[in-house]
């Protein structure tokens, strides 16, 4: 009787599955020099309208996680430049590799999932910022 209420949109399901696969592949992946690791991933966006609205955050934990520039957006050239300037080359490449895993898992969902927006942030900053941190 209420089956329609509990059915999820196929695109929402695809995003959930892509994040789940990404989490599994990235579980506790550590940076080469920084004392930081992938802690968790989250996503939001109106993907049922269009997958281009998908935003994925890779949340890092560890003593050095706050050395990553705040709200690092990999789709913003200035943000990427700041990361390249503030991190060692190996840690910068590690960040890009982590993001590539997420991108690959979304692309596996089908041709409409070209490239989600991907951000990287420190769990400590998110915790301090509370619910409104990503607004």
Residues 6+ apart with CB under 8 A from 4: none
Q: What pTM does this model have?
A: 0.90
The confidence score (pLDDT) of residue 134 equals 79
The confidence score (pLDDT) of residue 5 equals 53
**Total number of domains in the chain:** 1
DSSP H helical ranges for 1-135: 3-6, 10-26, 77-86, 89-107, 123-129
Within a domain: 89: yes
Query: 48 pLDDT exceeds 50?
Result: yes
Task: Tell the residue number behind the tokens 């050095």, with chain if given.
Answer: 64
Within a domain: 90: yes
Higher pLDDT, 71 or 6: 71
The boundaries of the domain holding residue 29 are 8-126
Within a domain: 3: no
Contact 62, 35 (CB under 8 A): yes
Within a domain: 41: yes
State the CATH number of the domain containing residue 67.
Answer: 3.30.300
DSSP state of 28: T
């Amino acid at each position: 009787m209420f089956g329609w209420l509990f059915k999820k949109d196929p695109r929402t399901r695809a995003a959930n599955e892509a994040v789940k696969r990404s989490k599994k592949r990235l579980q506790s992946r550590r940076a080469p020099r920084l004392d930081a690791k992938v802690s968790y991933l989250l996503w939001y966006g109106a993907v049922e309208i269009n997958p281009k609205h998908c935003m994925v955050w890779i949340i890092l934990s560890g003593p050095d996680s706050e050395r990553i520039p705040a709200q690092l957006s990999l789709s913003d050239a200035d943000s990427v430049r700041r990361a390249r300037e503030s991190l060692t080359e190996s840690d910068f490449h590690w960040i890009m590799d982590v993001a590539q895993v997420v991108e690959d898992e979304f692309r596996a969902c089908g041709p409409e999932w070209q490239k989600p927006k991907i951000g990287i942030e420190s769990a400590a900053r998110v915790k301090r910022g509370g619910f409104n941190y990503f607004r």
